Amino acid sequence: VKTPAGVVALLTDFGLRDPCVGILKGVLLSVHPAARLVDLSHDVGPQDVLEAREILSSSWRWFPRGSVFVAVVDPGVGSGRDIVGVEAAGHVFLAPDNGLLGFLEEDGAVRRAVRVTNRKYFLQPVSNTFQGRDVFAPVAGHLSRGLDLGKLGEPIRKLRQIRVPRPRAAGRGVLVGQVVSVDRFGNLITNLPAERLGKAERVDIRVGAARIGRVRTSYASARKGELFGIVGSRGTLEISVNRGDAAKTTGARVGVSVKVKRGR
Amino acid sequence: VKTPAGVVALLTDFGLRDPCVGILKGVLLSVHPAARLVDLSHDVGPQDVLEAREILSSSWRWFPRGSVFVAVVDPGVGSGRDIVGVEAAGHVFLAPDNGLLGFLEEDGAVRRAVRVTNRKYFLQPVSNTFQGRDVFAPVAGHLSRGLDLGKLGEPIRKLRQIRVPRPRAAGRGVLVGQVVSVDRFGNLITNLPAERLGKAERVDIRVGAARIGRVRTSYASARKGELFGIVGSRGTLEISVNRGDAAKTTGARVGVSVKVKRGR
Amino acid sequence: VKTPAGVVALLTDFGLRDPCVGILKGVLLSVHPAARLVDLSHDVGPQDVLEAREILSSSWRWFPRGSVFVAVVDPGVGSGRDIVGVEAAGHVFLAPDNGLLGFLEEDGAVRRAVRVTNRKYFLQPVSNTFQGRDVFAPVAGHLSRGLDLGKLGEPIRKLRQIRVPRPRAAGRGVLVGQVVSVDRFGNLITNLPAERLGKAERVDIRVGAARIGRVRTSYASARKGELFGIVGSRGTLEISVNRGDAAKTTGARVGVSVKVKRGR
């Protein structure tokens, strides 16, 4: 893996009020002054590994080849859980081995994975409470300068996985998925892949008590206030209201099930 | 227009919790690895074109010559509305043609404007739901590398305008404007230009039920808790409370009218 | 002081919704296009100098040597209070002389301090309401390019101090401090230094009505839901709940006293 641009993308649950993210960046720039730091999000729900995984898996492919992704959402800090470095699809990923990076393995994208143990690349001493600062940041700095992943520790064969909600078939032409994210506009992002929805414009979608009959090709092609389905920017079904807020309209939130019956 | 520093200033209503802004930056850096990205705001009210216009029109002149401004506040995404690129005052602006950039025309600053249609500079395919990623980001990357605006599409003669609240005269020495923004400190920013307020320190300002008799030259010259007028950093009248919150004190918010009678 | 990386760390109470932070960055990049801008926090409570001091004093040592720190939390803007530039520990600090930088003097770290008065390095005219834009940003730009501090104004002997809460002894082996910060996870960060807690794992800590008997060495070594003490990343006692929120559990917030009786 080459890291031509020195881009480091950061994903944490630290929030932006505390100086933790700034401290990570200070350490990172101490190791690699020319790194280009990009914030993916720091408002992941506290210790919400699944949300972090959802964000990273829908974002990484838009970055320049050779980017380093650092994800610190880590309920197990100080518990002896591993930190892993992964080479996949021309990028490098660094995260706790808690399922956050599991999507890379599913995609068959992993080229190499190591347990990060070489203290030579850590700050000393390593605290038990802020390994973002003491381990993730300096290691990411070195990786973005081109350090070979193999220097960080021994190879591992498998990444840990977490249970991720999957769509399931429920009878002929019926698929049940769920809302996996709600964006700032109130759009409900589901895990139902576009290619399994069929081509029909007429469908029968249920979200809680709401019933939706149409899949639109753009927000603007819906009437103002209409609740409709649309294939969103992640390639999955989204539920939207033109110039409105589908989360408010339907009362749905992350985890709510979405049932789709294909039209004929 | 030259873009010596490669500065790209970003203004959206995407919020910072979702990874959308990070994705824009990933795409932009893929096109132009040396771009210097600055966030203007990503907390514009959802689809609030007027607020975005207010922010951009009060910010752009503080950036280095040759900066590229990208504003994605876009109720009409997917509706066939145009995207425009504008050269003005030594900078380049990229936004939906929905009135957001209208202030450039009022100021007589527009040197060149084009409809952005050349798909060569877009990601493929262009989605109907996230043109920030597929059109605005890659085009901004190319512009910040120095691409000539003329390569993006045909010239246009006029930008679209939106209705913007203007101060109006209401009798001798009386001017009625309104609150156009409330900052984090509760200061009420109005659209009443300083030069039309006269020089008198004594005035008669009405905001809702509140009545203000003084224009101060600094926050600190007011008594603690005093409600007063001041010429703010945008060159317009602001209503403030020294070490307090004028929005709370007066109950006023964006859109509330402000009436000024000049002192003698 | 050398500024090899051109890093400028920014700390304000401007929030991120308004474009003020973006404007600072525009001005800074106009002066020094190669500056590397890092946000420490912009969500300091409005005019909360003590919070800003707490953030800066716990962050600066993680930045590369030669960084410039700009802190604009300034209840006295326009009151004639001084702006100071300070060289300390290989870095440069720029802030209102309102106690924000007082910790540098306590640490004996100050090598040089000046009153910033040389208008040659300011924008013209200087407003009374937004000196962040007109003074702090351009001066920081020059400092990050390597401008000698002595060019900015006359040396001063002492920085202003503010009252900062300190731990005090209250009988044999009893120390009373307070909560100085609550992080996003609800951890209560106190001002009780680790080295004064003794080595015993068993202690007697009181926070409001809550009583804590254990100091743990990591979050994960506590039982789920357990309230415990831990030496945090700032080297002080923190009160935490494993996979929970200590602020909610105890009802404590900034300013609440924390009493520790050492175990035997």
| Cβ neighbours of B36 in C, within 8 Å | 29, 33
- Judged by average pLDDT, the poorest of A74-78, A176-180, B68-72, C225-229 is A74-78
Q: What phi and psi values does residue A237 have, to the nearest 5 degrees?
A: -65, 135
> Can you spell out the DSSP letters for C143-197?
HHTT--GGGSS-B-S----------EE-STTEEEEEEEEE-TT--EEEEEEGGGS
AA letter at A92: V
- Listed in sequence order, the residues at least 6 apart from B88 whose beta carbon sits closer than 8 Å to its beta carbon are B104, B107, B109, B110, B111
C110 with C160: CB under 8 angstroms?
no
Percentage with pLDDT > 70 across chain B: 97
CB contact under 8 A, C7 and A33: yes
Percentage with pLDDT > 70 across chain C: 97
- Angle of helix B137-144 versus helix B20-31 axis, rounded to 10: 40
CB contact under 8 A, B129 and A181: no
- Judged by average pLDDT, the poorest of A162-171, B144-153, C198-207, C233-242 is C198-207
CA distance A236 to A54: 13
User: A-B interface: how many C-beta pairs under 8 angstroms?
Assistant: 93
Q: Which residues of A make CB contacts under 8 Å with B?
A: 4-5, 7, 9, 11, 16, 36, 38-43, 55, 58-59, 62-64, 67, 181, 183-185, 217-221, 230-233, 238, 243
Of C219 and A1, the structure prediction assigns the larger pLDDT to C219
CB atoms inside a 10 Å sphere around CB A208: 13
In the block, which residue shows the tokens 């990208």?
B70
CA distance C225 to C241: 6
Look at residue C12 and tell me whether its pLDDT is greater than 60: yes
B47 with B75: CB under 8 angstroms?
yes
- Give the pLDDT confidence score for residue B57 in this predicted structure: 95
- Listed in sequence order, the residues at least 6 apart from C203 whose beta carbon sits closer than 8 Å to its beta carbon are C197, C212, C213, C214, C215, C229, C260, C261, C262, C263
Per the prediction, chain C carries an average pLDDT of: 92
> Can you spell out the DSSP letters for A12-71?
ESS-SSSTHHHHHHHHHHHH-TT-EEEEEES-SPTT-HHHHHHHHHTTGGGSPTT-EEEE
| Cβ neighbours of A39 in B, within 8 Å | 16, 21-22
Look at residue C132 and tell me whether its pLDDT is greater than 90: yes
- Give the pLDDT confidence score for residue B203 in this predicted structure: 84
Does the complex come out with an ipTM higher than 0.90? yes
- Give the pLDDT confidence score for residue C133 in this predicted structure: 97
C-chain residue closest to A21, CA distance: C40
What b/e sequence results for B72-105 when a residue is b if at least 16 CB atoms lie within 10 Å of its CB, and e otherwise? bbbbbbbeeebbbbbbbbebbbbbbbbbbbbbbb
- pLDDT classification of A43: cutoffs 50, 70, 90: very high
Of C15, C27, C79, the CB nearest to B62: C27
- Listed in sequence order, the residues at least 6 apart from A106 whose beta carbon sits closer than 8 Å to its beta carbon are none
Distance from CA of C7 to the nearest CA of B (A): 14
What pairing do the DSSP bridges indicate for beta strands C110-115 and C91-96? unpaired
- Give the pLDDT confidence score for residue A195 in this predicted structure: 82
- Judged by average pLDDT, the poorest of B44-58, B217-231, C126-140, C235-249 is B217-231
Per the prediction, chain A carries an average pLDDT of: 92
pTM of the predicted structure, to 2 decimals: 0.95
Of C16, C30, C47, the CB nearest to B63: C30
* Mean local confidence (pLDDT), C61-78: 93
CB contact under 8 A, C181 and A129: no
Count of residues making up chain B = 264
- Angle of helix C137-144 versus helix C20-31 axis, rounded to 10: 40
AA letter at A17: R
Q: Which residues of B make CB contacts under 8 Å with A?
A: 13-23, 25-27, 29-30, 33, 37, 46-47, 75-80, 127-130, 133
Please name the chains neighbouring C, where neighbouring means 3+ C-beta pairs under 8 angstroms.
A, B
* Mean local confidence (pLDDT), C85-112: 95
- Give the pLDDT confidence score for residue C217 in this predicted structure: 87
Distance from CA of C154 to the nearest CA of A (A): 30
Distance from CA of A126 to the nearest CA of B (A): 29
Look at residue B181 and tell me whether its pLDDT is greater than 60: yes
- Give the pLDDT confidence score for residue B172 in this predicted structure: 86
Percentage with pLDDT > 70 across chain A: 97
